[in-house]
């Protein structure tokens, strides 16, 4: 339009010649055909000279162009704000040039003269810019399928390092390798640096090579190009911002486009060059892709199992895991090393000293939180922690810490599994022995017995190479998020090489002495002398580290992996003794094995069948064996105490002297008011052989079995179609259960929720009916647990088979209708 006026602002910080031009007003006049012939000003001539590709000399008969461009200097005005640029739907483009004044002029003239279709191509001809970027991030697309990330919720681009991926870039015109230049940038962390690997510049190359960031055009169709991008196997993991920069080969102008969607980079167990590479597809399916598992508890003679929903692909879990890494304040540059990542995760899962995910509680009072035995999934805990911006969740114990650790590590791409060690020692003084102190009468001195033996303890194995250790120490690494002892000032443990633990090489990092003591320390008995000193009177060589268990690959069976942690124990096991004595030399009592003691009488405790049940009398058999050819006499003292599963004793409930082998009985009336979590007990036997003065000592833990919850599916499992499951439970106690609450959850079936039942009378039966609609195909597990003050570790699981039949659009995918009835043998409130 004639007389249309534009105003452009320049400053001394912008332009090829800083400070060369004061604020300037541009007056633009457009003259139609038939009007006065145009005249070319000196400034327009200068612009054509500087950028002939964008401001060519027009043909007088071909173009209807500006008749006059006049630059008028003005007095210094107040700051004038540029009109905002329109932002592309999926990103943002920015221009940078040696003469910003000129290109802003071009841009504003284009906007104001949108109706003049002749003028626009004149000014922008030849300049390359990005219109949009498609990350090809669909779950069903090639990227997510090839990178084994299609199970993650959402349509973000989730990748594994050391592997190529593809994106599509739409340009404003066809790309020419002869005249155009294009490169990508990826940035992670708050201060990305090229030197730290957190700012990555990805050049365009003709041929891709391994172990470096590169991009190659693999397809070109008009204005669109498809890029294949390669990442190295040691790339930093985490959240990346992507930008695409274009320019000409002359380098006189650049345009930068920022994608509105981020890229997530994970570890890659499928890549041979990645330090977490696992060379077995079935194990990768189990230790990376399986979102449910089994966690074992109880005692070595009464092993219990419960199903745990890891849920690493569930909605919000990946975001929660990345949030944990950010909250740890671990430098982004260290996130490419799985040793560093695992060590940080082991600290962040507990809230002991860094406001981590879960608060540990072994007091028995969980009134202001959730009882540890009530959890059956990591999902609710992680999502709650993330949604509250890092407020620790209450409460957890070792199996909950382990379940969450498995979730986080699998989510980040590190193969991992939950591991249970029965008769797990807790060494508090770095002696690498478990010490039991007795008085002059062979009775335990409680205030000195700081070391303890947990009837079970759950930690994690994770798989990785260990280039920081001598060769042969890669593979499975023990990591423990349960806060027990500090490591370098923080409550964490590991990763410790399982091979190093087995060999007694406790001088190798991280925290190998502590884990060695858990699985292979000897229990040393010390008796107090009259002068207050102590002497070693007995060594129990097979007291700790039994039936180390994890879920088997591809099934719900228990796999015994004790042989990975220690050599076979026995009188002929020289390798095991060498490992123990090698380790002890690096402990606080290196001379503990200097005096051997003759042993020809043994004492052991046997539990018949599956062991005693809660609510009934506990019966055990104590056997004293004479291994010599001579007759022996011995007097044995017994003491039984209620014990937390951590090995901490609550109090003695029965003591007696036994001159011979007996059947030992603990009645329900003796223990009913003393039960704590896990319903565990420790029986301590001490005695002396009259003829040889040999000391007999034995500590045995046992638990009272709790009833299972029975879950029976009703109807066929079809995606999108309602079905039901019947949940039943019978109170085993001759007394009322107070405030019973059920927690029910099924990944791909329904969200976790609580069902408040209330009080349940003695020996009463409760029946719940759960109605739900499966949302995911394939086999699924419905898990239920019971929470009340008098009973713990009550749970059940049912396999729910799914298929791919899906109902029509608009079908509800979740339902949480629950009905229940309670059949009592006494009145119920």
- By annotation, the residues acting in catalysis are 398, 457, 480
Does the annotation flag 522 for ligand binding?
yes
In the structure encoding, which two tokens stand for residue 451, read together? 């070391």
Q: Please give the Cα distance from 169 to 129 (Å, whole number).
A: 10
Strands, DSSP E only, in 704-793?
710-714, 723-730, 737-746, 750-760, 765-772, 780-787
Dihedral, CA atoms, 128, 132, 138, 141, nearest 10 degrees? -30
Give one DSSP letter per residue of 589-641, joined into a string.
-TTTTSS-----EEEEEE--TT--BTTS-EEEEEEEEE-SSS---EEEEEEEE
Using the CB atoms, write b or e for 397-409: b if 16+ within 10 Å: bbbbbbbbbbbbb
In the structure encoding, which two tokens stand for residue 133, read together? 């970027």
Does the annotation flag 576 for ligand binding?
yes
In the structure encoding, which two tokens stand for residue 264, read together? 């997530």
Nearest to 456 by CA among 486, 490, 418, 491: 418
CA distances from 199 to 190, 259, 509, 622 (A): 11, 16, 31, 67
> Can you say how many angstroms the Cα of residue 622 is from the centroid of all Cα atoms in its chain?
44
Q: Please give the Cα distance from 1 to 3 (Å, whole number).
A: 6
Strands, DSSP E only, in 668-736?
680-689, 695-703, 710-714, 723-730
Angle (nearest 5°) at CA 567 between 285 and 338: 40
* Three-class HEC string of 121-152: HHHHCCCCCEEEEECCCCCCCHHHHHCCCCCC
Sheet holding 695-703, edge to edge: 649-658, 634-643, 680-689, 695-703
* Contact yes or no for 38/69 (Cβ under 8 A): no
Q: Please give the Cα distance from 659 to 772 (Å, whole number).
A: 61
The residue assigned the tokens 């006059």 is 68
Does the annotation flag 168 for ligand binding?
no
* Contacts of 345 by beta carbon, 8 Å cutoff, 6+ apart: 324, 405, 408, 409, 479, 481
CA atoms within 13 A on the CB side of 80: 14
In the structure encoding, which two tokens stand for residue 224, read together? 């669109």
Q: Is 387 helix (H, G, I), strand (E, B) or coil?
A: helix
| Cis omega (within 30 of 0) for bond into 495 | yes
Helix (H) or strand (E) holding 464: strand 452-464
The residue assigned the tokens 């790339």 is 235
Helix (H) or strand (E) holding 201: strand 199-202
In the structure encoding, which two tokens stand for residue 619, read together? 């019966």
* Contact yes or no for 149/136 (Cβ under 8 A): no
Alpha helices, DSSP H, located in 276-374: 281-284, 317-327, 338-348
* Contacts of 561 by beta carbon, 8 Å cutoff, 6+ apart: 419, 548, 549, 550
Does the annotation flag 380 for ligand binding?
no
> Which residues participate in the annotated binding site for Ca(2+)?
520, 522, 569, 576
> Which residues participate in the annotated binding site?
520, 522, 569, 576
């Amino acid at each position: 339009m004639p007389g249309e006026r534009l105003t452009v602002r320049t400053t001394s910080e912008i332009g090829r010649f800083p400070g060369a031009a004061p604020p300037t007003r541009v007056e633009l006049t457009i003259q139609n055909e038939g009007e006065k012939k145009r005249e070319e000003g000196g400034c327009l001539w200068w612009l054509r000279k500087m950028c002939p590709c964008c401001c060519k000399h027009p043909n007088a008969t071909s173009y209807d162009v500006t008749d006059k461009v006049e630059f008028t200097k003005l007095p210094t005005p107040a700051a004038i704000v540029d009109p905002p640029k329109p932002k592309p739907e999926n990103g943002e483009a920015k221009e940078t040039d040696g003469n910003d004044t000129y290109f802003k002029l071009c841009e504003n003239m284009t906007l104001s003269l949108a109706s003049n279709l002749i003028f626009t191509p004149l000014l922008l001809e030849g300049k390359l810019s990005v219109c949009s970027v498609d990350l090809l991030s669909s779950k069903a697309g090639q990227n997510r399928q090839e990178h084994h990330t299609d199970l993650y919720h959402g349509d973000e681009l989730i990748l594994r390092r050391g592997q190529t991926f593809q994106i599509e870039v739409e340009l404003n015109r066809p790309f020419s390798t002869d005249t155009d230049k294009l490169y990508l940038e990826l940035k992670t962390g708050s201060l990305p640096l090229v030197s730290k690997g957190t700012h990555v510049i990805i050049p365009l190359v003709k041929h891709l090579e391994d172990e470096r960031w590169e991009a190659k055009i693999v397809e070109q169709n008009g204005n669109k190009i498809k890029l294949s991008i390669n990442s190295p196997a040691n790339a930093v993991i985490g959240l990346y911002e992507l930008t695409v920069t274009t320019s000409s080969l002359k380098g006189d102008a650049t345009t930068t486009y920022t994608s509105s969607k981020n890229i997530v980079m994970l570890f890659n167990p499928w890549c041979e060059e990645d330090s977490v590479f696992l060379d077995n597809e079935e194990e990768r399916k189990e230790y990376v892709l399986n979102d449910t598992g089994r966690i074992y508890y109880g005692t070595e003679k009464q092993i219990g199992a419960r199903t745990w929903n890891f849920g690493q692909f569930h909605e919000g879990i990946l975001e929660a895991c990345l949030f944990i890494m950010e909250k740890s304040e671990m430098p982004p540059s260290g996130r490419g090393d799985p040793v560093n990542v695992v060590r940080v995760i082991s600290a962040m899962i507990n809230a002991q000293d860094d406001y981590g995910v879960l608060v540990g509680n072994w007091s028995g009072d969980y009134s202001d939180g959730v009882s540890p035995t009530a959890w059956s999934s990591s999902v609710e805990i992680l999502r709650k922690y993330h949604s509250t911006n890092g407020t620790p969740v209450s409460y957890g114990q070792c199996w909950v810490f382990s379940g969450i650790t498995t979730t986080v590590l699998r989510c980040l791409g590190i193969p991992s599994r939950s591991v249970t060690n029965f008769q797990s020692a807790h060494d508090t003084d770095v002696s690498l022995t478990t010490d039991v102190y007795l008085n002059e009468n062979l009775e335990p001195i409680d205030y000195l017995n700081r070391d303890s033996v947990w009837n079970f303890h759950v930690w994690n194995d994770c798989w990785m190479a260990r280039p920081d250790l001598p060769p042969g120490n890669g593979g499975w690494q023990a990591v423990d998020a349960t806060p027990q002892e500090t490591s370098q000032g923080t409550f964490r443990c590991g990763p410790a090489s399982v091979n190093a633990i087995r060999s007694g090489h406790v001088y190798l990092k991280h925290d190998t002495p502590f884990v060695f003591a858990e699985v292979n320390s000897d229990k040393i008995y010390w008796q107090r002398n009259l002068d207050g000193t102590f002497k070693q009177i007995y060594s129990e060589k097979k007291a700790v580290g039994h039936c180390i268990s994890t879920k088997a690959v591809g099934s719900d069976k228990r796999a015994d992996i004790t042989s990975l942690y220690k050599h076979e124990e026995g009188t002929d096991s020289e390798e095991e003794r060498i490992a123990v004595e090698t380790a002890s030399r690096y402990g606080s009592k290196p001379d503990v094995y200097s005096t051997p003691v003759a042993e020809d009488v043994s004492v052991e405790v046997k539990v018949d069948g599956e062991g005693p049940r809660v609510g009934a009398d506990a019966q055990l058999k104590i056997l004293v064996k004479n291994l010599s050819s001579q007759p022996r006499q011995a007097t044995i003292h017994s003491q039984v105490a209620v014990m937390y599963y951590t090995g901490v004793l609550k109090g003695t409930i029965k003591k007696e002297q036994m001159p011979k082998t007996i059947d030992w009985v603990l009645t329900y009336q003796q223990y009913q008011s003393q039960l704590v979590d896990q319903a565990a007990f420790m029986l301590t036997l001490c005695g002396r052989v009259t003829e040889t003065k040999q000391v007999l000592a034995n500590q045995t833990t046992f638990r009272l079995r709790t009833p299972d919850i029975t879950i029976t599916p009703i109807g066929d499992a079809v995606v999108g179609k309602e079905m039901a499951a019947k949940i039943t439970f019978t109170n085993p106690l001759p007394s009322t259960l107070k405030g019973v609450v059920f927690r029910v959850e099924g990944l791909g079936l329904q969200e976790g929720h609580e069902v408040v039942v209330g009080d349940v009378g003695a020996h009463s039966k409760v029946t719940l009916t759960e109605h739900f609609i499966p949302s995911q195909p394939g086999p699924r597990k419905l898990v239920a647990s019971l929470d009340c003050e008098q009973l713990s570790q009550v749970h059940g699981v049912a396999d729910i088979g799914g298929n791919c039949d899906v109902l029509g659009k608009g079908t509800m995918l979740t339902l949480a209708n629950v009905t229940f009835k309670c059949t009592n043998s006494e009145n119920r409130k």
